[in-house]
Structure 1
Amino acid sequence: MNPAGESGYFYERRNLDLWLEVRRSGATLILEETVRRALAEPAVVTGCFALTPTAGGLQGTWRAPGKAALLVRLTRADLSKVPLNLPSSPGLLALRAEDPLAFLKLNRAWVKSADGRSVREPLSRLTYPRLPGASAGLNAALQDRQLKHAAAALACRAALPEDLQITEGYDFGAAVTLQGARLVSVQESVSYYCGGAYPDAYTEGLILDRATGQPVPVSAIWPKLTPARQKVLHLKALNSRLDPECLEVLQGAGPSFTAHLTATGLALTPSGLPHVVAACAETATLPYATLRAEANMASVYAQSLYAR
């Protein structure tokens, strides 16, 4: 059962969930395995479990259309006893508790680049940056971000019909945009199509404490830089190059931004815009010098930026 309340399972040789339609016939649990071959086609039944309760779990048969039945015995898995094949982190432990299928797929050795500056998750093929010599807390935070996106990528691929699973899906990129003594910042970019009405995309920024890996809010550095103030400065920075339609959209939108740090300033990108105007979510970089009056110079984070 996945977090959305749907039932499914996967074969280790393929590692994509197969969805199960659940019904009962008396004491027998019927699980119909369904697959979509193409986007315009309805799902077809490719297998069916017929299971009854036993003292240890469930037993019965699995049968593909036109094939002989295979005997099946299911027992409850105790994932707390499954060894961690990645460094323990809050996200990995949460995945084990909340999304067992994703945990079983992703809890395996990942591939570190020769220079130690990135790690590739082999099933989703997502790569995420690392910092050589980083603290355990920062490494855990970066691993958890990669886990989140790898799980989303696998779920996206599984939701697609078979004819689109190679060409469509979850396109992801992440780059370290600032490495400082106290702060590390990352910008993530995602574009995806998972079989819905249209593709979508978004950008997300991270500002992390280099020692602990904990998120650092913009307000911890610039307490006067409220969301409303961010909107004013963002519009001012972009006003001359925005087309009239996007200017109108951003003026009417709520003051909601995702932020990351660069070598020259704070980069703000509008978030939460409707899909039809998502192209208006242009990033503006506010120079550190411009923001000095907004900063809390007693903060070690501000001191590390303005000592540059």
Structure 2
Amino acid sequence: MLPRLAGLLLWMLSLAVQAAPLLLQGHIGNAAVVMELNIGQGGEVDGRYFYRKYHQDLALSGKRMADGSLQLGENLQYDEQRNDLTLQPQDGGWRGQWHGPKAARSLPVTLAPYEPAQWPASTDAALKPIRQRSGYDYTRLAGLSLKPGKRERMQGHTLQWWDEPVSKIRLFRVLDGYPDASLQRLNQLLAERQWQEVASYFDCQLGGTHSAGADFEQTITPHLLSSKLLSVSIFTSYYCGGAHPDFADNPLTIDVATGQAVQLEDLLWLGKGKPQLGRQAGGERKDYQYEEKVLAPWLASTMARLHPADTKPGNDDDCDYRDPQVWQFVSWYATPQGLYLGPSFARVARACEYPEWSVLPWSLVKQHPGARPDLLP
């Protein structure tokens, strides 16, 4: 995963990992809501809530007063201060008034702790990781449904696309061409990834409430469905608040036999001995010594040898594909021709990213096999 996209995703998970957020459910007026609040030791408060009918987040920020009450503003811009919601602790929950930034009248608010036993049931096993991470996100996603889209044939397989109407996030499932057990594992991982992307869409929208809005659009391109590997590009263009919009590809490559995600060093390894790159529990790399000192220099020289015309320095010095630094953090996926590896550039040269030509043929990859040579064609 590219560092800038990893940073975005870590930010998207930040609400879930803060210490002891309050998860509440109740009503504003007659409308059912779910709310999550983080109350800091210094009295600062931030959070979010959504109306069950509409699913979209409204950001909350404010402070806890000396009497224990909360005064919160809704969807405040960075330079705004406003009190739209006042909550008083009462009987283990909260009661108060909402009058909103443009409301003609105030509405009563009643909130109570939202315990896991009260969360909605779901027959979709792909929501389990979301449920384990965040009851708030799980409750919202359990209220959504996927709609069947088009079917298409690709590389001997039938793909059924599924669309989530609110976020417009779509991903396919594989209907045939693999053993039933493999199909079940593949589609489970694809479904989990789709729901994760839907959750990321809502988190991005939340980030945009403090600025000029948000944008989160994806292009999904399956590249390889072989007997051993399924590989798909998941390209996201996003603006979640902050100074600039951005884009990144965060592909997914799956071992067909096991349904497990595949790492680049499973297929390609240039170090000494067997691949032994330390990873954290979530799969993130602990350090990038191998990428900086081994992988990047090799890719820079190899791409220059394989694609001399495309990597030849031109009038635009920004696109220096012979610089090892641009190959240190690559996005990659598998294709019938070989491994596609996309370089990464500084913001001023982002147009240089994702060139069509940067493919290592399988014949070359086989000369440098990774931890899973059995996955190579």
Task: Indicate the TM-score class for this superposition, using the shorter chain for normalisation.
Answer: 0.7 to 0.9
The equivalent of 2:264 in structure 1 is 218
The alpha-carbon deviation at position 46 of structure 1 amounts to 7.2
SS at match of 2:98: strand
Aligned counterpart in structure 2 of residue 70 of structure 1, from 103, 107, 111: 107
Matched, 1:140 2:176: no
The alpha-carbon deviation at position 179 of structure 1 amounts to 0.4
User: What letter is aligned with 1:113?
Assistant: G
What whole-Å deviation, never above 9, does each CA across 1:200-244 have from its counterpart, x for those lacking one?
Answer: 111222221113321122332333476243343234344422444
Contact 1:192 1:201 in 2 (8 A): yes
SS at match of 1:2: helix
The alpha-carbon deviation at position 114 of structure 1 amounts to 5.1
- The CA RMSD measured in Å over matched residues stands at 3.1
The alpha-carbon deviation at position 186 of structure 1 amounts to 0.7
SS at match of 2:129: helix
The alpha-carbon deviation at position 268 of structure 1 amounts to 0.5
The equivalent of 2:231 in structure 1 is 185
Matched, 1:13 2:53: yes
SS at match of 1:130: strand
What whole-Å deviation, never above 9, does each CA across 1:48-69 have from its counterpart, x for those lacking one?
Answer: 1222232x32223323366444
What whole-Å deviation, never above 9, does each CA across 1:245-303 have from its counterpart, x for those lacking one?
Answer: 211674344522221111111101124x332222222341112123332236983212x
Contact 2:120 2:139 in 1 (8 A): no
Distance 1:291 1:50 in 2: 61
1:218-257 mapped onto 2 (5 Å cutoff): 218-224=264-270, 227-228=295-296, 229-242=298-311, 243-244=313-314, 245=317, 246-247=319-320, 250-253=323-326, 255-257=328-330
Contact 2:58 2:209 in 1 (8 A): no
TM-score for the superposition, normalised by structure 1: 0.81
Distance 1:20 1:127, change over 3 A: same
Contact 1:18 1:33 in 2 (8 A): no
SS at match of 1:294: coil
Contact 1:128 1:173 in 2 (8 A): no
What whole-Å deviation, never above 9, does each CA across 1:181-212 have from its counterpart, x for those lacking one?
Answer: 12100111111122321111112222211133
User: What letter is aligned with 1:151?
Assistant: A
Aligned counterpart in structure 1 of residue 352 of structure 2, from 267, 274, 280: 280
Contact 1:2 1:100 in 2 (8 A): no
User: What letter is aligned with 1:2?
Assistant: L
Matched, 1:85 2:131: no
The alpha-carbon deviation at position 164 of structure 1 amounts to 5.5
Distance 1:26 1:46, change over 3 A: closer
The equivalent of 1:290 in structure 2 is 364
The equivalent of 2:74 in structure 1 is 34
User: What letter is aligned with 1:265?
Assistant: G
The equivalent of 1:118 in structure 2 is 161
The alpha-carbon deviation at position 125 of structure 1 amounts to 1.1
Distance 1:297 1:154 in 2: 37
SS at match of 1:290: helix
Contact 1:205 1:260 in 2 (8 A): yes
The equivalent of 2:276 in structure 1 is none
Contact 1:20 1:31 in 2 (8 A): no
Matched, 1:60 2:60: no
User: What letter is aligned with 1:145?
Assistant: R
The equivalent of 2:240 in structure 1 is 194
Contact 1:259 1:269 in 2 (8 A): yes
User: What letter is aligned with 1:34?
Assistant: E
The alpha-carbon deviation at position 145 of structure 1 amounts to 1.9
Distance 2:121 2:165 in 1: 16
Contact 2:300 2:322 in 1 (8 A): no
Distance 2:131 2:94 in 1: 22
